Structure 1
């Protein structure tokens, strides 16, 4: 996102301050801020970023073309110098301030990630970091980054590394002035067409990644560039036609902000609505004059917001994240109050950082100084982010699993040894967990494992052993544990809530000399049907299920099938089942389990574990002397997730056995975050592998009853 370039009007219609464009910037930032303050206010407020992309493409392309028309050449050093002094000083101020806010107000579990986010933001690659995290199972349940909004700045700056070079090539090919525009349009098309096609495809295939990557957004900046190249022709539009074009564009922007939501397939085709709307407002504005949207957008208060929009965008999100971390989930009115308060640091940054540097005569006449300033700002951000890692240095190591009374066997039958000391965990609850004092939440406990800073890494071996299928793949992967030569085979199937039971099942398999095979996939239950992921059909899950069911009833038939799952919305006729979602999910589970039982395979359903409102590991890190703040009501947390559907679906089928061990996970009226020296949860809905391993004796007893 770039700031408006204020210049005196020139003969070239592509250059000069335009109040309607400044007003568009104000509209864009207000949409973003309102959407972040409360999605119910403006569900599609994120389209403000797309408005910024088009405006930025228009302004920067216009300036580049104007330079070419005046001088016959393009100074790459001058261009990058202007970008450096315009963007980097304000950005580094916010990045350093964000580290201070993180240190003062955010839990330590977020410190290391924030330091790396500062490094990524300072190098303008935050969008690629977020794209990787969007498909990273370990990052799926993390709180949003305090610098998540820097993704859009990364997209723009990466685009502007490429676009001037393409312009230089176009100028070289179109040496004659009359041919320049044609070659520049062709250069933009070379970027826009494949980028738009890729955006449409990737949005349908991997929407989370498509949202952040540069390649799906370049066409939006190119669209603004097209408007800049055609500006001389657009100025000749008849006034009524120009006014109609500009007003229809404004309506399209506002309508998209209220009609789209985070469940929309975006960017893809839908991004055409706000981007073409923005292009229409810019294209029709000059010829329409006061008959167009300028009558609203160019008024002084609106332009004043547009002027500070860059700093406002930079400041609002860190303040929102910090406020939510300190006070819990914000209401819409509280969110609006926070973004309104961000006007203060934004105005100060604009007044004392942006303007003095932007208007510096020394920097204007000596581009090298601007490049040096940019290098210093980038260096400060990178060094600050790396240095911030010292606040959590040395990093805590993930815990080794509890020791066993029997030798363990690793993946694919490979011998493994465990040298860690025994931890109590669930065994501290004794024979009557619901009355045990060990399960009562208390404010302070002694030493416990895992350290909350690394609890997110305390997951099942399926992660490191490479047999947990990610969201994109439909390949059926499996890992072999226990006794590889055993005659009795147990299969574990389902999503991450099935995978979390692997540590306990591994120990049971070793002690009973069973053969254990793990089949799990991210965000995908073991089910015969189509489920929704991000409110859209999840085809790779359906394909994975079909292959797995065929394998389990064929060559890989187990003697016992163990399943578990979180809650999912089913898809019928291409759309999520909105009403009676629990009933639809339970019905699909019942059919699936009955099919497996009908094929002669006994099914054990491990009732889903508690779903908390907060990240328990993060809460424990933040409240080490007040752990009761992290204790959730049992009735509430057991009502979430897939548990209720499991209970419904398992009824009236004597070959489907429901095993509920939640008395040993949340034994009292409120769920203790630490039991028997072990942190129970690694986020808000997954049990740590360390604690899960201590449930092995109880699981073994339950399975003995099933198999008796």
Structure 2
């Protein structure tokens, strides 16, 4: 192994660790992953080319078995150890609501599909604001392994076909690889513009980075095999390459459009460094000598273990401690170093050592199913402990209004239960057992839209409630409307209304169209859906339209077309969204007997489930709604009443005098910080019907 390459691995992993520790000066340190991709493509392709030309080289099948056996020995043991350890420490230290997701992340990681998992999470509206998974860094391993599932086969097949046609096999590989690199880079630039969240994790957008290293290996191998002398100025190449890598880490930020064109300099810099080291005199440049220093070699040797361990250590510590003080950062660095050193010497090296039993393909190939079995045992143990944590409160009783008969509770049973739950929290009563929904399932508790999930592009109408009823209710809005849909469906079933839910997550029913939250540009899909909502109401002419929106930003002012953000001040933003809401409600009111705004579901400072996971009693999780969103929702109500329409203030079903219990009776009211759970939504159905003055007789 070239010492400069090991040193470059050290640079890459140190940049990544510093960035994840929050060292602002290297805010683009995550680009160390791009450096790893180039190095990996370079080394693996060179190894494949050299192995193919050995006198004792096996056939295509044997070559692939040998390659994947080496990959298994290199990747699986350490990766499995860290996966199992992360599951265990998460089950011990993190809120139970998070651990179930981490166990799921572990399975995706074991299947080398973590990049797909985290791309889905990044584009999930309901995952916004959640803490990062301690296993998120496994996405890069998945990209590599997906690349190597295809690349060795393609390389060997192209070379074999070239030999049959009496062409230069390495030259043919070079031509094919050049086309693939250019195509992947072009796709990366486009995908990063069109869908940056998914592009970041995609193998197709990252393939050109691995391919750039592979292409360099092919070119060098071709020149060496032909006896063509290598020339150039390695000192200049190395200096410029290092400058490109390091300056990229200093200049780019987490908001930079990665992995598009902005990653070209760091990839080019890495290629230049690898090329410089291969040239005559390359080992004597000041850059190569610096990379070859003993500390850099040690970090380079340990770089894989460091990469595996650093993220779980940092994320678990940050979550458990509520942040990282300088002392905590120092402890994290020591822990990363100790764990990495132990893993390198006790796990990595024994499996990679030549002459050991693992050096034989018949032992190495079964390592993958063995790793899956080990992970399954680790997940089972973690899940068992998790179940024990949840079961420890199972005998605790639910809160009931009867517990506080002398406290002058409301005659409304729904409000009385809220008031009793506030009193129970103030007393510090233990958290009830058998919460609804359970803490382990709460993040999956999203109201179903069935065939009418309009994010898929469908424009179907799905009558629910009482589909055969003559009267109809339309529920319109964003994710807040979706959260109300179980209640409104229940109202329809009980009172004889067809119910249509026209909800598009993240897209309020408001003429001030929100910008696309992923790209920051005009959101055509949202504008189209708002128009579809208006057109559908005009066609249905329902007896009742219910509208529920969150105050989302930024938006385009309906009059000026200018983009307005919350950063411009609450009054400026409120004026823009109020005006947009006014236009939307007025349009709806022209085609419905009644239009009612469902407003003021509280926005809480913390997730109730996370708080309940950490606490012993209800008092720790008695929260107050955030002031800003509350004021904006009250502004929405003023807009509705100003138009002569109706508004329902929902806060009374969640809070009493701005004190919001995390558990009402046995219900956890919110699945996250602002969306109610489906069970609590159904619980509110009768109260909602009463507030709306809906009759119990369909003929009334």
Q: Is the 8 A contact 1:198 1:215 kept in 2?
A: yes
| Partner-residue secondary structure (3-state), 2:269 | helix
Give yes or no for contact 2:474–2:501 (8 Å, CA) kept in 1. Answer: yes
Cα pair distance change 1:295/1:576, threshold 3 Å? farther
- The C-alpha deviation readout for 1:131-186, integer Å capped at 9, x for no partner, is 33444566556543332211111111121121111121122133299813211112
The aligned residue for residue 218 of structure 1 is 207
Q: What corresponds to 2:260 in structure 1?
A: 268
1:168 aligned partner: 156
Tell me which of 430, 433, 440 is aligned to 1:444. Answer: 430
Residues 542 and 374 from structure 1, CA distance in 2 versus in 1: closer, same or farther, beyond 3 angstroms? Answer: closer
CA distance in 2, matches of 1:336, 1:575: 43
Establish whether residue 659 from structure 1 lines up as the match of residue 651 from structure 2: no
Aligned to 1:122: 110
Match of 1:516 in 2: 499
Number of the residue aligned with 1:407: none
SS at match of 1:257: helix
1:9-158 pair list within 5 angstroms: 17-19=2-4, 21-38=5-22, 40=24, 42-71=26-55, 73=57, 75-136=63-124, 143-158=131-146
In the other structure, the counterpart of 2:243 is 251
- Displacement over 6 Å in runs of 4+: 393-396, 573-576
Residue 181 (structure 2) pairs with residue 187 (structure 1): no
Contact 1:476 1:547 in 2 (8 A): no
Q: 1:381 and 2:378 equivalent?
A: no
**Paired residues of 1:474 and 1:540 also in contact (CA < 8 A):** no
1:58/1:225 contact within 8 Å kept: yes
Of 293, 296, 305, which residue of structure 2 is paired with 1:299? 293
Tell me the CA shift for residue 618 of structure 1. Answer: 3.1
Q: Using a 3 Å threshold, how does the CA distance of structure 1 residues 326 and 60 change in structure 2: closer, same or farther?
A: same
Please list the CA deviations of residues 463-501 of structure 1 after superposition, one character each: whole Å capped at 9, or x if unmatched.
Answer: xx232333xx44445432334455654322222122112
CA distance in 1, matches of 2:119, 2:525: 20
State the Cα distance separating 1:451 from its structure 2 match: 1.6
Q: Deviations over 1:586-643 (max 9, x none)?
A: 33432332223433346433334333343322332343x33333333x1xx3325x44
**Can you list the C-alpha shifts for 1:308-338, whole angstroms capped at 9, x where unaligned?**
1110111112222322332224457745642
2:599 to 578, 603, 607: 607
Structure 1: gaps spanning 5 or more residues: 1-5, 7-16, 397-423
Give the one of 458, 461, 465 matched to 2:445.
458
Which range is displaced more, 566-575 or 614-623? Answer: 566-575
Give the drift of 1:546: 4.2
Using the TM superposition, give the Cα deviation of residue 649 of structure 1 relative to its aligned residue in structure 2, in angstroms: 4.7
Q: Output the CA distance in 2 between the equivalents of 1:669 and 1:147.
A: 37
Using the size of structure 1 for normalisation, the TM-score is 0.82
Partner of 2:526: 542
Q: State the distance in 1 between where 2:684 and 2:189 align.
A: 46
- Output the CA distance in 1 between the equivalents of 2:187 and 2:25: 31
**Of 402, 427, 438, which residue of structure 1 is paired with 2:413?**
427
Trace 1:200-215 onto structure 2 (pairs within 5 A). 200-215=189-204
Q: CA deviation at 1:444?
A: 0.9
Q: Distance in 2 between matches of 1:333 and 1:476?
A: 55
- Bigger helix fraction: 2
Which residue of the other structure, out of 667, 689, 692, is the alignment partner of 1:678?
667
| Alignment CA distance shift 1:630-1:354 (3 Å) | same
CA offsets 1:563-594 (integer angstroms, 9 cap, x no match): 22334222569988473164554334323322
Structure 1 Cα separation of the partners of residues 661 and 648 of structure 2: 21
Distance change (3 Å), C-alpha of 1:538 and 1:266: farther
Find out whether 1:317 has 2:301 as its counterpart. Answer: no
Quote how far apart the aligned CAs of 1:387 are. 6.3
After TM superposition, the score normalised by the length of structure 2 is 0.83
- Corresponding residue of 2:273: 281
The answer for the alignment partner of 1:644 in structure 2 is 631
Structure 1 position 673, deviation (Å): 0.9
DSSP 3-state at the match of 1:479: coil
Is 2:586 aligned against 1:598?
yes
SS in 2 for 1:270: helix
SS in 1 for 2:643: coil
Q: 2:618 aligns with which of 621, 627, 636?
A: 627
Shift of 1:555: 1.7
1:605 partner SS: strand
Quote how far apart the aligned CAs of 1:445 are: 4.1
Q: Structure 1 631/340 Cα, relative in aligned 2: closer, same or farther at 3 Å?
A: farther
- Contact 1:537–1:576 (CA under 8 A) maintained in structure 2: no
The alpha-carbon deviation at position 224 of structure 1 amounts to: 0.8
SS of the residue 2:215 aligns to? helix
Within 2, Cα distance between the matches of 1:201 and 1:190?
A: 17
Give the aligned partner of residue 405 of structure 2: none
Structure 2 unaligned spans of 5+: 391-409, 695-700
| Alignment partner, residue 495 of structure 1 | 478
Distance 1:158 1:435, change over 3 A: closer
Deviation at 1:57, TM superposition (A): 0.5
Instruction: Judge conservation of contact 2:600–2:630 (CA < 8 Å) in 1.
Output: yes
Change (3 A) 1:587 1:260: farther
| Structure 1 CA distance for aligned equivalents of residues 71 and 411 of structure 2 | 56
The verdict on how the C-alpha distance between 1:153 and 1:365 changes in structure 2, with shifts beyond 3 A counting, is closer
Hey, what's the Cα distance between the residues in 2 that align with 1:183 and 1:18? 30
